[in-house]
Amino acid sequence: MLTVEQIMASQKASIETLLGLTSKAFEGVEKIVELNLAASKAALAESAENAKAMLSVKDAQELMALQSAMLQPLAEKTAAYSRHLYDIASGSTAELSKTLEGQTAEAQKKFLGLVDTAAKNAPAGSESAVAVMKSAVAAANNALESVQKAVKQATEAAETNFNSATASAVDAAKTGAKKR
């Protein structure tokens, strides 16, 4: 049986974990807000520069050259912004996943301890029920590990695809700018 102290310790640990996860989530939001403020300031300054440059254009050919010159940096900046945003999101997700994996491992360990305690205190003849319970716990742990591995592989594949798409978009913008 669980004692009052064990229950209180478990509740305290759960609250500390929740507060830690909330703090990590807010850190991610703060980083996104900072990124958006910096991007907005840069876009405003760049827009002013571009407006001045457009006002100084003397003919259509110069206008086309100016538009081409603006297109490539815009694509690169958009790709950099997307990359930075993705890095923030994936970093936050990785930290949350790491914490949750640690909590899951601890919960599994405690549950196995309870099963072992129950097995030791079980009446004679209940060995097969205890064996079934331990087998079910082992199967659940294996399933959880498989899911965690699949999520990790999917995340890695998504990151690879994101990097590839970003590089393709920047290359396409460069090619388009050169053709003009």
| Residue 75: count of CB within 10 angstroms of its CB | 19
CA–CA separation, 98 vs 167, rounded Å? 29
Residue 40 has what pLDDT? 92
Under 8 Å between Cβ of 167 and 83: no
Does 170 map to a domain?
yes
Does 47 map to a domain?
yes
Does 17 map to a domain?
yes
Report, in angstroms and rounded to the nearest whole number, the Rg of the chain calculated over CA atoms. 28
Residue 158 has what pLDDT? 74
Under 8 Å between Cβ of 158 and 89: no
Structure-token pair, residue 174: 């460069």
CA–CA separation, 172 vs 72, rounded Å? 9
Residue 42 has what pLDDT? 92
Residue 44 burial by CB count (10 A; 0-12/13-18/19+): exposed, middle or buried?
Answer: exposed
- Render pLDDT for 145-179 as a digit per residue (tens, 0 to 9): 777 777 777 777 777 777 777 777 667 666 655 65
Which regions of the chain are under pLDDT 50?
none
Does 8 map to a domain?
no
* pTM for the model: 0.58
CA–CA separation, 167 vs 173, rounded Å? 10
Residue 100 has what pLDDT? 75
| Residue 23: count of CB within 10 angstroms of its CB | 9
Torsion from C-alpha of 46, 49, 52, 56, nearest 10 degrees: -110
Residue 79 belongs to what domain range? 13-179
Domains identified in the chain, total number: 1
Does 40 map to a domain?
yes
